[in-house]
Structure 1
Amino acid sequence: MPKISVIIPVYNNEATINKCIDSILVQTFRDFELILVNDGSSDESLSICKRKEYLDSRVKVFTQNNLGVSIARNKGIIEANGEYICFADADDMYMPTAFEIVMALIEKNNVDMVVGSIKEKKNGKVNYFKPFLKDDVKLKVFKGKNLKLLKRWTMEKDSKIFMNDSPDDIKLSENFRIDTPWAKFIKSKYLKENMFNTNLRLSEDIVLMYDLLSKMNSVLISDDIVYTYNVNSNSITQKRYDPNIIGYNMALTKELLKLKADYDSSFEQSIYMRIVNCYWDSIVRGISYKNSFKYQLKIIKEISHDKNYIYVFENINIRYCKTLREIIVTILNKLHCYTVVGILGMYISNK
């Protein structure tokens, strides 16, 4: 049994997959398997993966029809044999000593998950996302009460409870990413029992991470940079108009509402604010503003009359809104001013 199974979903990534794979094959820690799941690529991605499999026995290639990233990741989880599982996107890279650093932390601390830090590359600029607010804190093991706070922070990054009532050495930077699958080394038994929700196409990683933190006993967060994240303008979360966004956000809204009673009223309101952003995302990206305004207004009313959105806007307390946009969108929905919502959506969409 290898110590680590690395899972990479691959879909039309011929331009980047070579570098991604090579960043793993050159790891200083060698006891791993690399699982590549080709998700119905129509370019040379599969051929590249097959060549890597031929040259290195640690590489395993599986292929499926284009079923989406969650099903591809779940396929990798099913096939994984490692004690720990980590993920990568096909246009990103792990640092050469990442696995060695992480395995040393696991051997010393015996935790269920290690969360490493990342650097982000976007438009030629590099940002380093360090986890802790205090510069002298390099790592921290979260257990018990602190682990529950960490779980809450996954959904409610600006949680006043976490930031005000927690010890200084566990306070996290808002830029830190715990809600993504990459740069996480997760004990495989947790993923075998809790896979990605295949009904979701947005924020499925956040929902999974929240669920995993409910099951785990210990999580170590380290400020060691282990992963390079390249911002992809073609990802779902970066695209503009996409009519499927409306359905994706409604599915996510249903899942989020299941979590609203997990903590207190403040957390419940935080969940509502996430849903307000789902609603606004649908207005801005789910409607083609090239159509007639009458048609646009029809779609806006259909979205706004969804029972879950109605429930959220009826129960939101405006004092929990953190941006002017959230305040305006909430007030307009409470007053049923959908025409104004449409005008704002058109303005933002065309910017």
Structure 2
Amino acid sequence: MVPASSDISVTISLYNKEKTIERALLSVLNQSSPPKNVIIVDDGSTDHGSELAENLARKYPSVSHIVQENQGVSVARNRGVVEADTDYVCFLDADDVWEKNYMDNLLNLMSAEGNAEVYCLAYQMKSEIGYLKPHVALEENHEGIVENPLNVYAKGYGLIHTSAICFRKEFFLDIGGFPEGVNFGEDLFVWMIACLKGKVAFSNKISVTLHKEQINSINRRKLHPYHVSYFTEHLNDFSTSEQQAIRKFLIGNIYIQWAAAKLEGNVEQQKTLQKYCFSLSKTSWLILTFSRLLPPSVFKFLKNRRTKKRLIGNR
């Protein structure tokens, strides 16, 4: 049976987003075929976001509002999934918005690939300098199953994002959901597991706009990268082909995080990432080791060049 909008719920994790929660919610409710219900899980907000969410829940019958003590975004997201009474669950961050075509694009993808466990839609990021489209190694009009999804994901993060993903609920619960008590890398961990264990379908149609705040990025990079530590320590639990895909993904991700730590002068984080890199690939570790001799200006140049290339390539 082809899924319908009544088979889909949306969970929005809320923490101190009083300025954006209504915008996010209305982007869901204003779909031509809105999902059955929206579950807002307030993770102990200290601003007026919880009050706004409660008022919105009273106004719209399909919206429910759950309040819990601050336990982290993973707990909030998992709670929303458990509370959902549908076969499929989407996620939306409280500062992002669904485009008007989100549900139409999702339902079309589900109709084409009804056996998938994970459905992903393309997104764009809104910033002061314009819109950034995804960087994914797929043909322009791709709409269907992704072969070797972790390898595709390793080439660019455009394949998966929290606000642009829909899970078959049973599959999400089977893989354990988001790891609780984790503050950094919890989303990447789930995406990697999903790519390894499930069928991933993807549509290149832009369906979500991200409005990301970067004020906490430096502090987050000081935290333990859970996805890196987990997969490095449990690498032998996976098949040979899976190990190859995991290594490729992690090494690329470590390079990006290490360069950011270098720019910030975060020596401790650099050492942590080098340790994991050594376990994954001695050659890659040597590259990082020699890169320590380069001045931060080199990494700043490469970062700016990468950003400029992404902008030009996606106009």
What is the TM-score when the length of structure 2 is the normalising length? 0.78
Q: Secondary structure at the match of 2:179?
A: coil
State whether residues 96 and 163 of structure 2, in contact with CA within 8 Å, keep that contact through their aligned partners in structure 1.
no
Counterpart check, 1:254 vs 2:229: yes
Taking only aligned residues, the RMSD between alpha carbons, in angstroms, comes to: 3.3
Aligned residue in 1 for 2:13: 9
Counterpart residue type for residue 149 of structure 2:
L
Counterpart check, 1:150 vs 2:125: no
Aligned residue in 1 for 2:307: none
Aligned residue in 2 for 1:197: 179
Counterpart-to-counterpart distance in 2, 1:214 and 1:282: 28
Aligned residue in 1 for 2:102: 98
Q: Which runs of 4+ in 1 moved over 6 A?
A: none
2:36 aligned residue (26, 32, 46): 32
Aligned residue in 1 for 2:305: none
Aligned residue in 2 for 1:121: 126
More off after superposition, 200-209 vs 1-10? 1-10
Gaps of 5+ in 2: 301-315
Q: CA deviation at 1:285?
A: 4.7
Q: CA deviation at 1:105?
A: 2.8
Counterpart-to-counterpart distance in 1, 2:253 and 2:291: 17
Q: Note closer, same or farther for the CA distance 1:41–1:110 as it changes in structure 2 (3 Å cut).
A: same
Q: How does 1:13-162 map to 2 (within 5 A)?
A: 13-111=17-115, 112-129=117-134, 131=136, 133-135=138-140, 137-142=141-146, 146=147, 149-154=148-153, 156-157=154-155
Counterpart-to-counterpart distance in 2, 1:15 and 1:3: 30
Q: CA deviation at 1:186?
A: 1.2
State whether residues 117 and 131 of structure 1, in contact with CA within 8 Å, keep that contact through their aligned partners in structure 2.
no
Q: Note closer, same or farther for the CA distance 1:272–1:101 as it changes in structure 2 (3 Å cut).
A: closer
Q: How does 1:158-237 map to 2 (within 5 A)?
A: 174=156, 176-178=158-160, 180-193=161-174, 194-216=176-198, 218-234=199-215, 236=216
State whether residues 36 and 61 of structure 1, in contact with CA within 8 Å, keep that contact through their aligned partners in structure 2.
yes
Q: Note closer, same or farther for the CA distance 1:310–1:214 as it changes in structure 2 (3 Å cut).
A: closer
Counterpart-to-counterpart distance in 1, 2:260 and 2:137: 30
Aligned residue in 2 for 1:160: none
Counterpart-to-counterpart distance in 1, 2:7 and 2:41: 20
Which has the higher Rg, Structure 1 or Structure 2? 1
State whether residues 121 and 203 of structure 2, in contact with CA within 8 Å, keep that contact through their aligned partners in structure 1.
yes
Q: Secondary structure at the match of 1:81?
A: coil
Counterpart-to-counterpart distance in 2, 1:105 and 1:272: 31
Counterpart-to-counterpart distance in 1, 2:244 and 2:256: 17
Gaps of 5+ in 1: 158-173, 288-298, 334-339
Q: CA deviation at 1:54?
A: 0.4
Counterpart-to-counterpart distance in 2, 1:315 and 1:90: 36
Aligned residue in 1 for 2:278: 313
The CA deviation string for residues 89-141 of structure 1, in whole angstroms up to 9 with x for no partner, is 11111112311331233134313222111121111401222745433x33122
Query: How many residues matched?
Result: 290
Counterpart-to-counterpart distance in 2, 1:209 and 1:269: 15
State whether residues 9 and 35 of structure 2, in contact with CA within 8 Å, keep that contact through their aligned partners in structure 1.
no
Aligned residue in 2 for 1:296: none
State whether residues 124 and 206 of structure 2, in contact with CA within 8 Å, keep that contact through their aligned partners in structure 1.
yes
Counterpart-to-counterpart distance in 2, 1:206 and 1:121: 21
